[in-house]
Structures are given as structure tokens and as C-alpha cells.
Amino acid sequence: MNSHEKGVVGLTNSEGKVVDRYIPRKCSATSRLIGPKDHASVQFSIAHVDSDGHACKSVNDCVTFAFCGDIRSRGGVDEALMLLAQKHNLMQPI
């Protein structure tokens, strides 16, 4: 049984012991790794909705986007989020 089957979160060694609980993320706009010291980074989870406008309950029904602090400081999150939402069919092209 590996660490994912046990429900352990983080990086594990070959013996299955947790060596680091930090799980690296990638910026959805720039594909750069978001480091543990990037306190300006944000992550959005956008839920799919059914025809009645109710959010779907399953975690798999969410699309998650992460943005690094660098793109936030340049004011690029708005444009990047709109492009990614269109790419994932979450909104109509403008």
C-alpha cells in the first residue's frame, strides 16, 4: 500500500515515511512552480453548476487554478483567469 492509498499527504521516501508535507503547485498562467515562501500566491476552485444553478457536490466537479505572486503583482490574474475559464468551457468567449 503506497502513501496515497493510506491517505498520507506530502512527499514520502521509499520507506513510506513522510519527509515533507509541502506539495508544490504550478502557476496556471506561467507554469512556474509556486514555492513555499510565495505568500502572495492564490488558488481558486471553481465549481461546476447544474441546470438549476446549484453547485455540484463532488470534489471532481471543481476546476482549480493557482496563480503565483509574480503574476498577481503585475495584475495579470484577471486576464489569465478569463482565458483559462474559456479554455475549460466555464464561460463563453468574449
Q: Read out DSSP for 54-89? A: PBP-SGGGEEEEEE-HHHHHTT-HHHHHHHHHHHTT
Tell me whether strands 33-34 and 25-26 are parallel, antiparallel or unpaired.
Answer: antiparallel
Give the pLDDT score at 89. Answer: 85
pLDDT for the residue 18: 81
Report all structural domains of the chain as residue ranges with CATH numbers, in order of start. Answer: 24-94 (3.30.1230.20)
Structure confidence at residue 13 (pLDDT): 82
pLDDT digits (tens, 9 = 90+) for 48-75: 888 888 887 776 778 999 999 999 999 9
For residue 15, the 8-state DSSP code is T
Q: Which residues of the chain have pLDDT under 70?
A: 1-9, 59
Which pLDDT belongs to residue 7?
61
pLDDT of residue 1: 47
The model's pTM: 0.71
